[in-house]
Structure 1
Amino acid sequence: MFVLSQERMYPIVFPMNDLDLLYEQIEKAKTIGIFGHNLPDGDCYGSQIGLKEAILGKFSNKNVFALGTGMPQFYSFISKMDNEVDIKEPLDLGILVDVSCLKRVESKLINNCKGYIKFDHHCINKKGEEFPYPYYVDENRIACTEIIYDFLIKYGFPINKKCCSALYLGLVTDSGRFVYHGTSKHTFEVASSLIKKGADPVRILDICYHESKEMKAFKAYMKSKAKLSGDVTYLIINEQEYKSFDLPYEEASELVNAIAGVYPCHSYVYFIESPDGSYRVELRSNKLYPVIKVAQQMGGGGHQFAAGITLRKDNLNFKEVVLRMNKLQVYTK
């Protein structure tokens, strides 16, 4: 078993042949739960469904569950998530995908597993969020589904239409339709292979990026309210504001990129109030400033250039976040 040292501040990236350990864990488990993070996005949901379909295709005698809320708009086109009430006994194996540690998993059933493994592309866990189980992490991958695709190919898993559609969804969303930093030649090779196997990119994009009139109006409101501080665009949205547009928190909280081009600057921050009074904070950079440093300083995590923080309602220090983002740019220029 591999154990993550608490002192290690950078990710271990196991060579591909060490994936044997993860495959062995999947092979011997009879019941498997596949878990993702809170507020699942396309890469999280796509990784869960894609891996589930592949495991069932290779091991038809196993019981495999994709657990959490997923992305309801894709239920009819790709697959629904599994009902947690159907699981009565502890699962032999919990597989984390697109999530860094157990405490960030959405489903509470994560605590009802006999063992764990992980596939991920987020930066290494800070102290208190270690993952002392076998895992494969490569923070240079644009999407977790890209890692899972390579794993499936390496070990001869069948990739049916549901699987390739789910994996393509993760690839196209986490890459920002193949334009974000980290999109590579291999990313396009994987996308091409998935399309050849049956993924429908037009249909997937149509579902994923469909916007209601309420969404369009809210994004226009966001742009009108965004402010500039130094070289950082920022926006603070409270619960009453997004509710006035009839948008749920789950949708409104995903719109950080709406303020990306409001001002000619290189970083942007989106503060949005959650129903419990805390604020979700999304940090982004479009000029290679490693915003992960600010996130980790303030108890968050994520990727080098796209990270997040949670501000408790008793410590809503918005100015401090913006100040640190501006200082980050000074130090890294």
Structure 2
Amino acid sequence: MDQAKLNMNLEVLNYDMSGLYEEQRETPISMREKMRTFNQLRVDIYNILKTPCEEKQMTLKRIVPIGSVAMRLSKHYSNLNIIICIEKTDGDEGQFFGNDNNAILRYLTEKLKTLEGYEEINYIDEIVPSITGFNNNVAIQITSHYGSSVPTSYIAARFMGNVIKFYPSFAILHTALKGIFKNDQLGNNQQYFPNSYALSMMITHFLVEKEFLPNLHQQYPERFDPKNATWDFEMIPDNDVLEFGKNETPAQILYHFLEYYINKPICSFSINMKNNEMMERNQSLGLVIIDPFDDHNPGRLVTDNRPFIECLKRTQKLIETLELWDMPRLIDGKSEIQNA
């Protein structure tokens, strides 16, 4: 491998990565649109559910944003993800309508369909049921949480906010990898590529393993313990952040990421986020991530990881071998990754 050529190509790629991030990042205007939509949703959901909740001795406690917006990873086209938090008035974490906790989402789905400004509203019956659709052209996704505990999705978003505080280029790296996956010939097939949250976990594990980040689970065990979580979540002090970090460009980190996961047989290992270990398991084509904030395995949508690994290999090959003037925009839709 020609190290000088690689270094030049990484410089070009770094420029492209930064440009793509600036092009796609959440703008003040798009964030204001999302917040207006969130405020409207909060009012509409409260009006729809207030009486049914009271009749069932339930209390609608909070409606909060989660997902990429809360994690500081949102793009101007990202979904607005929110969670509805409901608990029993008497403290008993019982059922909502009959024996089906998810009936609240079905009920809410039908009511939202009748309101002006809502389009393509649908109830999605998955492991984590949700409502999807649009409000004034902003894509929305609504989930629910029952009980007095703080939902782990809320804690996960705050955790990622702290990760990005330690490593501000995280969002650039995340955006570039999503772009590479999308450009790949199979990039639109979810069963081959990790979703945004699973990718965030994979990046975090890699950054901790290579000492670009501390292990926040171990350094702040009480702060990120779901059992101890409160709504009054505090960010990690700035002084702690200033003591950590390495000087490498996002493109250099991307190249190290490719090397790491190409050489790690993720079909034979699971990623344990709390201990930041790769743990041996029975060989499988799926992606297994053990995450304190998700009991369902964030990598569960990846049923065959071989195309994902092949995509990483093709990308690495392109970065290493192409001439500088032929360096493709791997991340902006102009590349031919699948033909490398």
Relative to the length of structure 1, the TM-score reads: 0.31
Relative to the length of structure 2, the TM-score reads: 0.30
More helix as a share of residues: 2
Highest Rg: 1 or 2? 2
Structure with larger RCO (C-alpha < 8 A, sep 6+): 2
